Amino acid sequence: MRDLNEDTLTKETIRAVTGGKDGRISAVSEALVRHLHAFIREIEPSQAEWEFGIDFLTRVGKMCSETRQEFILLSDTLGVSMLVDAINHRQPEGVTETTVFGPFYVESRPELPLGANMSPNETGVPLFVSGTVSDIEGRPIAGASVDAWHSDDDGHYDVQVGSDLRMRARFRSDAEGRFWFWTVRPTFYPIPNDGPVGDMLAAQGRHPYRPEHVHFMIAALGQKTLVTHLFIDDDPYLDSDVVFGVKSSLVTRYRYETAGEAPDGSISLRDYLSLEYHFVLSPAA
Ligand code: BEZ
Ligand code: FE
């Protein structure tokens, strides 16, 4: 392994990285070196450009903390997260489509009864969310865990501004697979863009926005856990989501409701919006 040059380096590197016992590691290492070397051969970086790239990745690593995952953000904004999601969710027709998980889920979210308001102290337009959870045969799923979370009407998640958990909760579907809860309307927002990923977006001439959405994670016994969002049909960023997460089947529309008795029998003193969606889970393998 001496005197390697532009012509022989790739072959020799592949030989060196594929000698381990684990076949999957060999396959991944081989593909990694093959694609990485092809990328370098194509762009022919100057030494200064290579140093810039190393510094960029170093800054991405240094930005990571308990509450900030800059590498996932990089994966999201380069379309990798949605590609991994697509590869892992080649699912039957009729099953609700998946989209990116995002960094703002919190395991310790409150568990609330059906009909509760998960955003009681927020400003913003009241929003009544309801729907059903069923299996691929259309059978309602009782007791499904329905997690919902979203930004405030200013475009921030609770975890971005303080330690109080807000605008998030877990509900359980009733005997007919139904769920319903109150919250406030979220809005479109920029992903965290004060770090190297933000610099990258600016250099690429891209905006940092995600269209307005409510996140859902729905889990039930014997079914694959569904991670998805509901988007709103008049959002200006639907066709330029910075993380490539929008799917037409997840784009919904608000109904504008007047103050008075709401579908759950409660009285809304203010005009409000309502949103309804029927989630279909796919059977666990
Ligand atoms: C989100 O929707 O919460 C999100 C997804 C990807 C990157 C940043 C935020
Ligand atoms: Fe989000």
For 32-59, write each residue's pLDDT tens digit.
Answer: 999 999 999 999 999 999 999 999 999 9
Taking the CA of residue 73 as reference, the ligand 1 atom at the shortest distance is 7
Instruction: Give the pLDDT band of residue 67 (cuts 50, 70, 90).
Output: confident
Answer whether residue 140 shows pLDDT above 90: yes
* pLDDT tens column, 182-232: 999 999 999 999 999 999 999 999 999 999 999 999 999 999 999 999 999
Closest C-alpha residue for ligand 1 atom 9 = 102
- Dump the DSSP string for 149-213: E---TTS--HHHH-SS--SEEEEE--TTSEEEEEEE----EEPP-SSHHHHHHHHTT---EE--E
Domain positions in the chain:
1-44, 80-280
* pLDDT tens column, 106-129: 999 999 999 999 999 999 999 999
CA of 38 to the centre of ligand 1 (A): 31
Residue type, 275: L
State mean pLDDT over 135-150.
97
CA of 16 to the centre of ligand 1 (A): 38
Answer whether residue 280 shows pLDDT above 90: yes
Closest C-alpha residue for ligand 1 atom 2 = 102
Answer whether residue 1 shows pLDDT above 90: no
Residue 40: which of 82, 4, 6 has the closest Cα?
Answer: 6
Taking the CA of residue 210 as reference, the ligand 1 atom at the shortest distance is 2
Instruction: Give the pLDDT band of residue 20 (cuts 50, 70, 90).
Output: very high
Q: Which of 76, 232, 241 to mutate to test the pocket of ligand 1 (most atoms within 8 A of CB)?
A: 76
Ligand nearest to the CA of 193: 1
For the ranges 67-76, 100-109, 205-214, the one whose mean pLDDT is highest: 205-214
What percent of the chain is modeled with pLDDT above 70?
100
Closest C-alpha residue for ligand 1 atom 7 = 102
A 10 A CB-CB count for 6 gives 8
Could you tell me which residue, 248 or 66, shows the higher pLDDT? 248
Instruction: Give the pLDDT band of residue 162 (cuts 50, 70, 90).
Output: confident
CA of 173 to the centre of ligand 1 (A): 26
Q: Which of 98, 191, 246 to mutate to test the pocket of ligand 1 (most atoms within 8 A of CB)?
A: 191
State mean pLDDT over 253-280.
96
Q: What is the dihedral of CA 88, 219, 227, 251, to 10 degrees?
A: 120
What percent of the chain is modeled with pLDDT above 90?
95
Closest C-alpha residue for ligand 1 atom 3 = 102
Q: Which protein residues are within 6 Å of ligand 1, measured from CB? A: 73, 76, 100, 102-104, 191, 210, 243
Separation CA 229–CA 245 (nearest Å): 9
CA of 202 to the centre of ligand 1 (A): 18
Closest C-alpha residue for ligand 1 atom 5 = 102
Q: What is the pLDDT of residue 112?
A: 98
Q: What is the pTM of this model?
A: 0.94
Answer whether residue 163 shows pLDDT above 90: no
| Protein fold of 80-280 | Protocatechuate 3,4-Dioxygenase, subunit A (2.60.130)
State mean pLDDT over 73-81.
97
Structural contact between residues 49 and 56, judged by C-beta atoms closer than 8 angstroms: no
Closest C-alpha residue for ligand 1 atom 1 = 102
Mean pLDDT (the chain, rounded): 96
